[in-house]
Amino acid sequence: MRSRLSLANKCLAIFGCAIVVIIASTLAVPWARTSALVQEYQLEVAGQLADLWINSKVESKGFEDEDVIIQLIKLHEIGSGNQTFIERARNKLLQGNENLEYYFEGSGQNQLNFFQYAQPITSSQLSSIQQEGVTTFNPGVADPSLLDPVDALLIVKRKTGFAQIQIETSRNWIVVAGLIGSILSALIFFVILKRLIFSPVRKLRRVSERVQQGDLTARSTLETGDEFEELSIAFNNMLDWMEADQQKLQKMNESLDLKVEELAEVNVGLFESGKLKNEFIANVSHELRTPLNSIIGFAELLESMPTETEEDRAKRLRYLKNILTSGRSLLDMINELLDMAKIESGRMEVNLEQTCISDLLEGLGGIMRPQAKVKNVTIKLEIENDLPSVQTDPGKLQQILYNFLSNAIKFTPKDSTVTILCKKINTKSHSPLVQICVQDCGPGIPEDMIDMVFEKFRQVDATHTREHAGTGLGLAICRELAELLHASLSVHSTSDNGALFYVDIPVYFATETPEPLMPA
């Protein structure tokens, strides 16, 4: 089972992350500002030290202490490169166009951090430093920059170890304050969520678990005065409706049980009546078949007897042919009734064997040609080469095709053609099929009647029913036989354009496995 994260943990994680992000974003400003404040402080102290040294009126080139170094360096003593701090300060203060009053930067020396500050010293400032009380008078008006040029640079170096300690201390306190604020905020949020959200949700969940176990009498008793109480009331109303519906369903189930018992008794009666009907049809058909066979046999004997005159002979032959035609037609009807009775009673067996479709069609064509010759109908075979043999019952397949051909010859006008088409069809999901099509040139079937041609006792319309005799069971028997052979039947036709009857036979007969009554 997949592990799930509880609502409390989700909320705590989401709110915790949100609090950390908010506090970190808020403390980022003092974090960055701490370094800037220390740098401003260093700059201010360095400037004050420089002013103090200038105003001290000492005759010295510098001052050196453990933490502070002050140097006065004249311009002609500074190199021309840009490698040292003094050279960079000279370039920035004298050669730049920014008119800077000072220049500073931090540098490393003996693994100790120094803050370096440079300030330009003019000639007057330099003479004031070296000769106390000397005043220089320059007549006329001149450019101050020409009268008082920069002759030296005052360099102040201070160790920044204390400042770095202050920065680290301040930042440590910022981190500690952020962590404490995050933890306290998370705890406060958790307590609030637990009291206002998690506790009502757990109570509702316990009620739903009882309902899931089948206890529809469970009810929620939340009294929070907010949306959770409204949800609790709605949940209780839903349980009331479910309990009422369950009682209604129990009453309906009891009524349905009574109906099922009644239907079972009716089904038993219908089964018995259907069994009696099949037995009746079988007995009646058997009783009718014996005298009909005798009539057909005696009629065939009469047909072969000699006659005295030509006219009597012709008349007797005509009568005998009518007897034979009527007797065979009646026998076909009775055979159809017997076949339908066998199929409905489940006594129709399938005898599988490898069948050559080409041989079967050629034999069937030979059987049907005498019947077609009466109407001068031509039977044309179009069989695809290299057809595979089919695992099926050849007798039942021949009976299906016989009905197709018989109907085609019956409804095809004189001097026409009935075509038998046969080809192989490859499918992706099933085994290969052999498709046999019987095409006639008859009146066709209207579109609204195509779905009913395979039903029992059905013919196209009254006109054809009167013109062509039959029970209407031929195509219905074909459909039942096709189901036994795992084949499929279809028809395509339009009025006055003939009809095409198809039968698709699988090359391999797949035995059906009965589904179990109870699931595994």
The pLDDT value recorded for residue 3 is 57
- Which residues does 340 contact at the CB level (< 8 Å), separation at least 6? 456, 473, 476, 477, 480
Instruction: Band the pLDDT of 421: cuts 50, 70, 90.
Output: very high
Structure tokens at 66: 């453990």
Mean pLDDT along residues 184-201? 79
At residue 513, does pLDDT exceed 60? no
CA-to-CA dists, residue 229 to 220, 238, 239, 460, angstroms: 9, 14, 15, 70
At residue 14, does pLDDT exceed 70? yes
| Lowest mean pLDDT segment, chosen from 139-153, 203-217, 294-308, 499-513 | 139-153
Q: Which stretches of 77-216 are assigned E, i.e. beta strand?
A: 103-109, 112-122, 150-159
At residue 504, does pLDDT exceed 90? yes
The pLDDT value recorded for residue 159 is 78
At residue 465, does pLDDT exceed 50? no
At residue 441, does pLDDT exceed 80? yes
pLDDT tens digits, 378-414: 999 999 988 899 999 988 898 899 889 988 888 888 8
**More reliable by pLDDT, 54 or 380:** 380
Eight-class DSSP state of 389: P
Instruction: Band the pLDDT of 51: cuts 50, 70, 90.
Output: confident
At residue 443, does pLDDT exceed 70? yes
- Strand ranges of the sheet holding 499-506, from the earlier edge strand across to the other edge: 378-383, 417-425, 433-439, 499-506, 488-493
**More reliable by pLDDT, 514 or 74:** 74
* Phi, psi at 338, each rounded to 5°: -65, -45
Find out whether 380 and 369 touch, Cβ atoms under 8 Å: no
Mean pLDDT along residues 252-267? 90
The pLDDT value recorded for residue 420 is 93
The pLDDT value recorded for residue 434 is 92
The pLDDT value recorded for residue 519 is 52
Instruction: Band the pLDDT of 356: cuts 50, 70, 90.
Output: very high
**More reliable by pLDDT, 344 or 142:** 344
Structure tokens at 367: 């059987």
The ranges assigned to domains in the chain are: 219-348, 352-506
Average pLDDT over the chain, rounded to whole? 77
| Lowest mean pLDDT segment, chosen from 49-53, 59-63, 200-204 | 59-63
The span from the CA of 418 to the CA of 285, in Å, is 33
The pLDDT value recorded for residue 512 is 62
Looking at domain 352-506, which CATH architecture does it have? 2-Layer Sandwich (3.30)
Instruction: Band the pLDDT of 454: cuts 50, 70, 90.
Output: confident
Eight-class DSSP state of 512: P
Mean pLDDT along residues 312-337? 71
At residue 226, does pLDDT exceed 70? yes
The span from the CA of 9 to the CA of 17, in Å, is 12
Mean pLDDT along residues 193-207? 78
Mean pLDDT along residues 230-245? 83
**More reliable by pLDDT, 402 or 296:** 402
Mean pLDDT along residues 350-357? 89
pLDDT tens digits, 260-288: 999 998 888 888 767 766 765 666 566 66
The pLDDT value recorded for residue 98 is 59
Instruction: Band the pLDDT of 511: cuts 50, 70, 90.
Output: confident
Token pair 């034979």 in the structure block, residue: 324
Instruction: Band the pLDDT of 133: cuts 50, 70, 90.
Output: very low
**More reliable by pLDDT, 52 or 435:** 435
**More reliable by pLDDT, 319 or 408:** 408
Q: Percent of the chain, pLDDT > 70?
A: 78
**More reliable by pLDDT, 256 or 151:** 256
The number of beta carbons lying within 10 Å of the beta carbon of residue 494 is: 12
